């Protein structure tokens, strides 16, 4: 019986392993999942206080996620959409970095907006309170750092010539 020369013979020493994802993709996936979960939890009575006062948008929403973070339907939807976008972007290396670093930059802008907006004015339409602002500051710097510093080549002595690869 002749051997098919088009397909090389392979020897296996045990089960084959699937290629592992780069660390930045794993981190982006984890962050995205947390955002989706937070978006869902914002709609659950018991996890949110004053659930009956959940408004679509605006500073008059008295609903608090975990009794601390002011939320509205719009705020919860934004978390869900941001998380879903992150799930999609985390599938590619460049997308994962974009989600983390770009999302971190966006959260720093949101923190600045929440810091300067009149809490009782129409500009506070998402809405934000002090707890939200501190969380946005932490998320901004944390995501930015993760997106820029999480690399398979970081710490190996190699150069990061193209951070998007």
Per domain, the residue ranges of the chain are 23-149
Residue 22: the pLDDT is 84
Q: Which of 30-34, 60-64, 134-138, 145-149 has the lowest mean pLDDT?
A: 60-64
- What value does the CA radius of gyration of the chain take, rounded to a whole number of Å? 22
| CA atoms of 37 and 79, how far apart (whole Å) | 9
| CA atoms of 12 and 150, how far apart (whole Å) | 33
pLDDT tens-digit series, residues 141-152: 999 999 988 865
Candidates 146, 137, 72; CA nearest to 106 is 137
- Lateral strand order in the sheet of 64-65: 48-49, 64-65, 69-70
Backbone angles phi, psi at 49, to 5 degrees: -90, 155
The better pLDDT of the pair 68, 3 is held by 68
Residue 11: the pLDDT is 55
Residue 14: CB atoms within 10 A of its CB come to: 5
pLDDT of residue 109 exceeding 50, the answer is yes
pLDDT tens-digit series, residues 16-33: 666 688 888 999 999 999
Q: What is the DSSP string of 141-161?
A: HHHHHHHHH--SSTTTT---S
Q: Which residues pair with 45 in a beta bridge?
A: 48
Res. 56 pLDDT band, cuts 50 70 90: confident
CB contact set of 31 (below 8 Å; sequence gap of 6+):
86, 99, 100, 103, 143, 146
The pTM for the full model equals 0.75
């Amino acid at each position: 019986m002749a051997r098919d020369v088009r397909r090389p013979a392979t020897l296996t020493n045990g089960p084959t392993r699937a290629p592992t994802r780069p660390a930045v993709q794993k981190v982006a996936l984890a962050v995205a999942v947390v955002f989706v979960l937070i978006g869902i939890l914002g709609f659950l009575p018991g996890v949110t206080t004053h659930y009956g006062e959940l408004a679509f948008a605006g500073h008059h929403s008295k609903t608090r996620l975990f009794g601390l973070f002011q939320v509205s339907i719009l705020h919860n939807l934004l978390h869900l959409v941001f998380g879903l976008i992150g799930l999609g972007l985390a599938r590619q290396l460049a997308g994962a970095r974009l989600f983390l670093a770009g999302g971190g930059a966006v959260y720093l802008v949101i923190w600045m907006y929440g810091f300067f907006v009149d809490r009782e004015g129409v500009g506070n339409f998402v809405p934000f309170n002090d707890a939200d602002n501190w969380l946005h500051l932490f998320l901004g710097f944390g995501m930015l750092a993760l997106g820029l510093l999480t690399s398979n080549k970081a710490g190996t002595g190699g150069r990061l010539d193209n951070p998007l690869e």
